[in-house]
Amino acid sequence: DAGVTQSPTHLIKTRGQQVTLRCSPKSGHDTVSWYQQALGQGPQFIFQYYEEEERQRGNFPDRFSGHQFPNYSSELNVNALLLGDSALYLCASSPAGGIQETQYFGPGTRLLVL
């Protein structure tokens, strides 16, 4: 049973560019959450997708957007990249019909903005 997978593993972009990160949830999970983790910090909640809609959002600007597909996979898009967007981006999935707070994380995508 594959866990949560993310791609790419690493990415280097320059300021002003746009980036798309991808996530496939664990089998049987239908809810996907995205987090940003700066070095030495805990994860910060970006948003959560369920039934192809954004259900909740953290304190992130509109430059951060997402999408969920019918197969429950998800994308995180960040426009107009800033140096401060450099971080580890984590995707987490929660089980369908289960307790949504119990989230399982992927290995993350490390984004470096130059």
- Per CB under 8 A, the segment of 13-21, 68-76, 77-85, 86-94 that binds other proteins is 86-94
Q: In angstroms, how far is CA 73 from the centroid of its own chain?
A: 10
Q: Indicate which single residue of 7, 27, 102, 112 sits in contact with other proteins (rule: CB under 8 A).
A: 102
Is residue 66 involved in binding other proteins (CB under 8 A)?
no
Nearer Cβ to other proteins (65/100) = 100
Q: Does 97 bind other proteins (CB under 8 A)?
A: no
SS3 for the chain is CCCCEEECCEEEECCCCCEEEEEECCCCEEEEEEEEECCCCCCEEEEEEECCEEEEECCCCCCEEEEECCCCCEEEEECCCCHHHCEEEEEEEEECCCCCCCCEECCCEEEEEC
Interface residue with other proteins among 68, 106, 111, 113 (CB under 8 A) is: 106
Please tell me whether residue 110 binds other proteins under the rule CB under 8 A.
Answer: yes
Residue 60 binds other proteins, judged by CB under 8 A: no
Does 1 bind other proteins (CB under 8 A)? Our answer is no
CB of 30 to other proteins, least distance (A): 15
Q: Is 95 in the site for other proteins (CB under 8 A)?
A: no
